Chain A
Amino acid sequence: MSTMSARERILGKLRAAAPAPTHDAVALQQRIDEHYADGTLRTASPGQLADRLQSIMASVRTDVWRADAASWPQLLADKLAEAGIKRLLLDHGSKEGAVLAAALPDSVQTQSFAQPIEQWKAELFNSVDAGFTVARSGIAATGTLIVVPDAGSPRTVSLVPPLHIALVYASTLHADMHAAARSEGWIKGMPTNLVMISGPSKTSDIQQTLAYGAHGPRALWLIIVDDAVEQGGAA
């Protein structure tokens, strides 16, 4: 069996049946743009977008705190100590990771994701209590964080530990997903992984009963840093 020939046969059947190629891509794009253009949040201020993000995420059992750039590390350090978190995964190489690590009490140990996952898979699954990531941005309309993993904060940091802690700058918030995709230039090139996160893991697979903590993080904490005045804090 040759898969090459399967390809040719499938494409042959499709080409034989396909209508003349349409060139209405521009018109379609315009319709999509227009649909989102008059969204009520399109004219909202960063503060209003942050309010909306906070209220929607809180409604799906996310613990949300607002803070400014100076106060969030201590606020989060206190919460982590209070929750009894012992081992926190964060990126020491990032500005936020470094300040958070400096603010933490001795009871909270930190570590960076320093080696490929296959070298410490079981340990990652069994002994890390929480993972800290800085979201690239957020979407106010649906209460969503846009997380783009990188070498310092790989995909599993926001996925495997039972608690995920995300930080987002209010200045990075978008009104809706269309605005996010457009202003971040998604179609110009995507990272290997981009995740939109709208709360902790959940399921309704047993008799439509909502239960949190299915396979991903059982809890999600969100710090919104109100940096609207000091634009560019997101770096």
Chain B
Amino acid sequence: MSGVPLNFVSPADFRSRVDQALQDGKLRSSMRGAMDFLQTKRQSQFPDSDELELLRDLGEAVRRHALANLPQLLQQLEANLQANGVQVHWAETAEEANAIIHGIAQRRAAHRIIKGKSMASEEVELNHYMAERGIECVESDMGEYIVQLADEKPSHIVMPAVHKTKADIGALFEQHIPGMSYTEDVDTLIQAGRRALRQAFVDADIGLSGVNFAAADTGTIWLVENEGNGRLSTTVPDVHIALMGLEKVVASLEHIVPLSSLLTRSATGQSITTYFNLITGPRRAGELDGPREMHLVLLDNGRTQAYADEQLRQTLQCIRCGACMNHCPVYARVGGHAYGTTYPGPIGKIISPHLLGLDATADLATASSLCGACGEVCPVRIPIPQLLVRLRTEANRDPEQSVAHPLRGQGANYSRSEQLVWRFWSGAFARPSVYRWFRWAATRLRAFAPSSQLGWTQHRTPLKPAPRSLAELLRERGQAE
């Protein structure tokens, strides 16, 4: 795979990709099946709605407490990790994170990196960056391995290959794994993936993982998985690098107990995953395995922008379970790739503007009917619909307007003519004489209503004023205005 850039599409082409995705019958049916499955699985984990609501309150409280104390907790985490023998790095941008990781690889003369699942590494496009510098990154999570073989990006943050069918994967493995013949038998396919990656764990110079939670009080990183590839990646190579969005820290290891339960139950409908891997430092004297060198890279990449605003800060409560995606009527129909962002679906719509700027992502927040399903299932009660409305407001704000916490790309959807229409509208409604004149003109000149009315007529019949206004009709029936 090395040297081959991953497919990269811009979120700016969102609308055209949505049209393509909607026409793709195979994608539609595999997404529908997957979403129904994940919704049912989640529901089966929360038979007691009272318990669910109490646990959500608790999850929200833990995350809000962590964010309220974020600068102190990050320093405490850093100090405890360092005391445990972990080297801590801070990266303001994706470029900085990649450069730090590349620097470690260079110092270790490393050529091969085995990766546990890490969405943060997708966010910074680590594989691409390393490939350009002659270092091969091999994805070891089965879903990530599949999308890497296909030269794609994950379409779901928990199930990266959710858009693919058994037949797709059978063909992919036949093409890429030597000696493999086509099959749709899932056990056979998984065993083939296991065999293909076994040696990669042995040969890797560095293991790279994400972080699900970090505890400031003990300096522990907490990894959640089912396959064991995360444990292998963080145990077998001599160096372990963990890459973590800076919002993932919580005050105490005990706070992670309710969060981890919310995560696995909301994400895949499991009461717990096969492995919770709690790492508190590299190999100590007398131990015979585990990495001898361990690093944690703390990634900002726009998160501090969300943090600056009290409302938008709630975005950072996210524990990346993907339940909002699994319940989103838009995501279920267009799939993850249409968004063109690392994080698709509702969470992607509210986090991506901070990572990439509103100018690149202005349309994402508009792809929602505001039905509220995402907010209802969110295990940490992020008010996603309200945040979508807020981001629409910021995208439509005059780029010149000065606000307390400006967002990168403010006013990306700002239109002078649209503002003029609104100004006229509010002016008309504020002055009865103008309003009456406008009402008269609109009804009498209705024949001149244009048949093409921009976005409105894309999917709807043109608007045409009625022949008489309601006030006139009432007057005709003898009732005063």
Chain A 119-159 interface mask (CB, 8 Å, partner B; 1/0): 00110010000000000000001111000011100111001
In this assembly, does B111 line the interface, its C-beta being within 8 Å of a C-beta of chain A? no
Given contacts A122-B202, A192-B282, contact A198 B99 (CB under 8 A): no
In this assembly, does B150 line the interface, its C-beta being within 8 Å of a C-beta of chain A? no
Q: When the two chains form their complex, are residues B187 and A211 in contact, meaning their CB atoms are under 8 A apart? A: yes
Write the nearest CB–CB distance from A130 to chain B, whole angstroms: 15
Chain A residue numbers with a CB within 8 Å of B96 are 1, 3, 6
Bound complex: CA A89 to CA B34 (Å): 40
Closest to A113 in B: B288
Write the nearest CB–CB distance from B295 to chain A, whole angstroms: 11
In this assembly, does B268 line the interface, its C-beta being within 8 Å of a C-beta of chain A? yes
Closest to B230 in A: A215
Given contacts A3-B91, A154-B289, A201-B274, contact A117 B236 (CB under 8 A): yes
The residue that A159 contacts in the complex, of B92, B232, B313, with Cβ under 8 A, is: B232
The tally of residues in A whose CB lies under 8 Å from a CB in B reads: 79
Write the nearest CB–CB distance from A188 to chain B, whole angstroms: 8
Q: When the two chains form their complex, are residues A11 and B74 in contact, meaning their CB atoms are under 8 A apart? A: yes
Closest to A190 in B: B280
Write the nearest CB–CB distance from A110 to chain B, whole angstroms: 17
The residue that B275 contacts in the complex, of A142, A189, A195, with Cβ under 8 A, is: A195
The residue that A205 contacts in the complex, of B146, B313, B405, with Cβ under 8 A, is: B146
Write the nearest CB–CB distance from A166 to chain B, whole angstroms: 13
- Tell me the residues in window 6-34 of chain A with beta carbons closer than 8 Å to chain B beta carbons: 6-7, 9-11, 13-19, 21-22, 24-25, 28-29, 31-32
Write the nearest CB–CB distance from A200 to chain B, whole angstroms: 7
Q: When the two chains form their complex, are residues B220 and A190 in contact, meaning their CB atoms are under 8 A apart? A: yes
Q: When the two chains form their complex, are residues A151 and B253 in contact, meaning their CB atoms are under 8 A apart? A: no
The number of inter-chain residue pairs (CB within 8 angstroms) is 267
In this assembly, does A214 line the interface, its C-beta being within 8 Å of a C-beta of chain B? yes
Chain B residue numbers with a CB within 8 Å of A28 are 61-62, 65, 251, 255
In this assembly, does B118 line the interface, its C-beta being within 8 Å of a C-beta of chain A? no
Q: When the two chains form their complex, are residues A121 and B202 in contact, meaning their CB atoms are under 8 A apart? A: yes
Q: When the two chains form their complex, are residues A207 and B166 in contact, meaning their CB atoms are under 8 A apart? A: yes
Write the nearest CB–CB distance from A146 to chain B, whole angstroms: 9
Given contacts A10-B92, A35-B54, A216-B228, contact A195 B277 (CB under 8 A): yes
Q: When the two chains form their complex, are residues A191 and B280 in contact, meaning their CB atoms are under 8 A apart? A: yes
Q: When the two chains form their complex, are residues A125 and B278 in contact, meaning their CB atoms are under 8 A apart? A: no
The residue that B143 contacts in the complex, of A19, A190, A205, A217, with Cβ under 8 A, is: A205
Given contacts A22-B69, A29-B252, A156-B235, contact A205 B274 (CB under 8 A): no
Chain B residue numbers with a CB within 8 Å of A10 are 90, 92, 246, 298, 300, 304
Would you list 19 pairs from A and B whose C-beta atoms are within 8 A, ordered by A residue?
Answer: A3-B90, A6-B92, A14-B71, A17-B309, A19-B68, A21-B68, A125-B201, A187-B254, A190-B278, A191-B280, A195-B275, A198-B272, A205-B141, A206-B161, A207-B33, A214-B226, A214-B228, A216-B232, A216-B274
A interface with B by C-beta (< 8 Å): 1, 3, 6-7, 9-11, 13-19, 21-22, 24-25, 28-29, 31-32, 35-36, 56, 60, 113, 115-118, 121-122, 125, 141-144, 149-151, 154-156, 159-160, 177-178, 181-182, 186-187, 189-209, 211, 213-217
